[in-house]
Structure 1
Amino acid sequence: MKKRAKIFLGFSVGLVFICSISCDEKPKENKNTEKSGGKKYLTSPLIEDLFTADPSAHVFENKIYIYPSHDIDAEIPENDNGDHFAMKDYHVYSMDSIGGKVTDHGMVLDVSDVPWAKRQMWAPDAAYKDGTYFLYFPAKDANDIFRIGVATSDTPYGPFKPQKEPILGSFSIDPAVFTDTDGSTYMYFGGIWGGQLQRWTNGIYDSEGSMTDLEVDSLPALSCKVAKLSSNMLKFDEPVRDVIILDSLGQELRTGDYDRRFFEGSWMHKYHGKYYFSYSTGDTHYLAYAIGESPLGPLTYAGHFMTPVQGWTTHHSIIESNGKWYLFYHDTELSGKTWLRNIKVTELEHLPDGTLKMIYP
């Protein structure tokens, strides 16, 4: 799989060379959905004055709030560890409805505010309970190990005050928090390669990583992790477990199943009593999903629902608003650079048989 990483990285670098435009940290205004050369995009960027990615959207207080990561150009060469994704703070955005004006509520948390965090504040998520809003975020600690922290606020737009320590037992990246109809709340997390998930296969951080789990195609694929959150939403209430994805024959997906296996960027939503676990396949650039009867799994693989975006990564969220479902995602329309992204939204359709309609970004 490492060889696959370099092949796709080389492709993306070549694409950047062909498509890149001159830009600094602030994107230039561009309201067109068609670029020179005839390239067309399904939707336009929601935000054009900052580079944003990994949008976690939620409906709070009858508004749509978006919690993205904030891309910056740190002039770090691209590598498999993702050091060029050097994000260091978060902004919160809101909109009254899809298609409406997007409001920037400003910077709500900086890495310098977090006592335990050193660098790389990647994709966050948010939740609400009993009058408090929670912002969950990954960052590297003093030892360059990804942990997941939590910060709180009285409002959905912050600012957020971080806890002094990361969540005990947390690791890797991409926290996604789902509250079920019974009030139970779960955190899904994990990402391989730069997300370090392969370094935790024995429950203890291995600085060299477990390359066997990434390179032996016949092994069961590394799984996303899930843990139930405590009543105060600040810690895990039970041991971390695997989110098992099965094929149609009831067998676990394999490491070599690049088009279907979990890589990063998980999300959970519930539709007609079923649990829809969606995620990025990473190096093959699809959004895929699996359906189950429990938020803890196991889940059965159901297919792709989004083809690759422009740019290396695909990271999304799914919400229901005013009776319709929407997918928030990102691409690199404004910059052409994999580490300088822009967030977008489009409608998501559940078909009569319960599957998701394919989206072509």
Structure 2
Amino acid sequence: MKRKIFLMASAIAVITACNDAGNSTAPTTDSTEINTNAADDKYLQQPLVSHIYTADPSAHVFNGRIYIYPSHDTATGTPENDNGDHFNMMDYHILSMDAVGGKVTDHGVALHVKDIPWAGRQLWAPDAAFANGTYYLYFPVKDKQDVFRIGVATSKTPEGPFTAEKEPIKGSYSIDPCVFKDDDGSYYMYFGGIWGGQLQRWNNNKYDSAGKLRQPDEQAILPRVAKLSADMKSFAGPVKEVKVVDSAGKLYKEKDNDRRFFEAAWMHKYNGKYYFSYSTGDTHNIVYAIGDNPNGPFTYKGVLLSPVEGWTNHHSIIEKDGKWYLFYHDIQLSGKTHLRNVKVTELKHNADGTITTIHSQR
């Protein structure tokens, strides 16, 4: 029988310290029931860490080491709703490891919502990049008017701590930033998420508080992309829509919700092609589309990761030591939608450029 224990705030601090003596700032709001014997043969992989809840893992290789920039889920008791108010995250912990399968280090709190001058609430899925001798942490958070914007914070080390800019990135909105570096040194930010991510409130880059979700036969809402300026803190041009099309070149309708964009954009490049992957949200797939240009269009190819346990599905993809890896999350530790745990597994590109579908359970 699996052993379970209620971890109160003081216990969490002790456990975190035992996991990583270098972690000087322990979480204080993970008071909930955690399965401390989480190994289960039905899962393809096991959680990378179990002393805190983590989700939405954005992974990168910096200085030969893997750094993971996840959301930090906490049990705040906020009631659940379709806007995601129960995902009430307040800080970021950065994880790292030398290689997949190696020891994972929790570097402690890298950024807290109270240290972001313009922030109101809900630090959702972040991403990171390196340029100009600086590490940049990109994050969505609701401003004091409860509108999601994307901010940026900087550090001289990949693990932080990070110092936030005094204002959000001008022209930014919605959630789930993904920053991609192309071979020519250009950086692009992909972002957006419908429902709680508020993307439905933005048309032609203008905010409409009454903006509604699309009807089934209407064209699906499209993700967004913007090229970053050399300072990595601003957009070099206007925010554009990213077209995701079917094999006939047609845009998807909202009723095509097993293929249309919902949230969790990610970009990687393989054999000269651009792979735009994302979550379908209410159908819970991670799917991918391929294009010849970082701005799109991208042609849908199939399911990359089938639904995991829990409502959300969010991922990242990296190459390390000649192998490709998929980072993702599920709810193995808690059984609760808003208390997730990150995992990693190998990803394989086929000879024709397609990707073998991954199933998170055996």
TM-score exceeds 0.5: yes
Q: Residues 148-297 of structure 1: matches in 2 within 5 Å?
A: 148-211=150-213, 213=214, 215=215, 217-297=216-296
Find the counterpart in structure 2 of residue 93 from structure 1: 95
CA distance in 1 between counterparts of 2:309 and 2:35 reads 18
Secondary structure of 2:206's match? coil
Give the TM-score taking structure 1 as reference length. Answer: 0.90
Q: Residues 269-348 of structure 1: matches in 2 within 5 Å?
A: 269-348=268-347
Find the counterpart in structure 2 of residue 67 from structure 1: 69
CA distance in 1 between counterparts of 2:311 and 2:302 reads 20
Deviation at 1:23, TM superposition (A): 5.0
CA distance in 2 between counterparts of 1:30 and 1:287 reads 28
Superposition RMSD in Å: 1.1
Secondary structure of 2:278's match? strand
Find the counterpart in structure 2 of residue 77 from structure 1: 79
Contact kept in structure 2, 1:30 and 1:48, CA below 8 Å? no
Q: Per-residue displacement from partner, 1:157-176 (whole Å, max 9, x unpaired)?
A: 10000000000000000000
Secondary structure of 2:339's match? coil
Find the counterpart in structure 2 of residue 30 from structure 1: 37
Find the counterpart in structure 1 of residue 24 from structure 2: none
Q: Given residue 190 of structure 2, which amino acid in structure 1 is its aligned partner?
A: Y
Matching of residue 56 in structure 1 with residue 58 in structure 2: yes
CA distance in 1 between counterparts of 2:304 and 2:83 reads 27
CA distance in 2 between counterparts of 1:250 and 1:341 reads 36
CA distance in 1 between counterparts of 2:40 and 2:158 reads 31
Deviation at 1:28, TM superposition (A): 4.0
Deviation at 1:253, TM superposition (A): 1.2
In the superposition, relative to structure 1, how do residues 335 and 275 fare at CA in structure 2: closer, same or farther (>3 Å)?
Answer: same
Deviation at 1:218, TM superposition (A): 2.1
Q: Per-residue displacement from partner, 1:252-278 (whole Å, max 9, x unpaired)?
A: 111110100000000000000000000
Deviation at 1:210, TM superposition (A): 2.0
Q: Per-residue displacement from partner, 1:293-338 (whole Å, max 9, x unpaired)?
A: 0010001011111110000000000000000000000000000000
Structure 1 gap ranges (5+) = 1-20, 35-39
Q: Given residue 252 of structure 2, which amino acid in structure 1 is its aligned partner?
A: L
CA distance in 1 between counterparts of 2:205 and 2:314 reads 26
* Residue-pair matches, total: 333
Contact kept in structure 2, 1:152 and 1:160, CA below 8 Å? yes
Q: Given residue 257 of structure 1, which amino acid in structure 2 is its aligned partner?
A: D
CA distance in 2 between counterparts of 1:220 and 1:117 reads 32
Secondary structure of 2:119's match? coil
CA distance in 2 between counterparts of 1:41 and 1:77 reads 29
CA distance in 1 between counterparts of 2:205 and 2:244 reads 20
Contact kept in structure 2, 1:244 and 1:252, CA below 8 Å? yes
In the superposition, relative to structure 1, how do residues 305 and 23 fare at CA in structure 2: closer, same or farther (>3 Å)?
Answer: farther
Which stretch of structure 1 is more off in the superposition, 267-276 or 247-256? 247-256
Secondary structure of 2:201's match? helix
Q: Residues 63-142 of structure 1: matches in 2 within 5 Å?
A: 63-142=65-144
Secondary structure of 1:194's match? helix
Q: Percent identity?
A: 62
CA distance in 2 between counterparts of 1:32 and 1:73 reads 22
In the superposition, relative to structure 1, how do residues 23 and 84 fare at CA in structure 2: closer, same or farther (>3 Å)?
Answer: farther
Contact kept in structure 2, 1:28 and 1:49, CA below 8 Å? no
CA distance in 2 between counterparts of 1:210 and 1:165 reads 27
Contact kept in structure 1, 2:153 and 2:162, CA below 8 Å? yes
Deviation at 1:220, TM superposition (A): 1.6
Q: Given residue 110 of structure 1, which amino acid in structure 2 is its aligned partner?
A: H
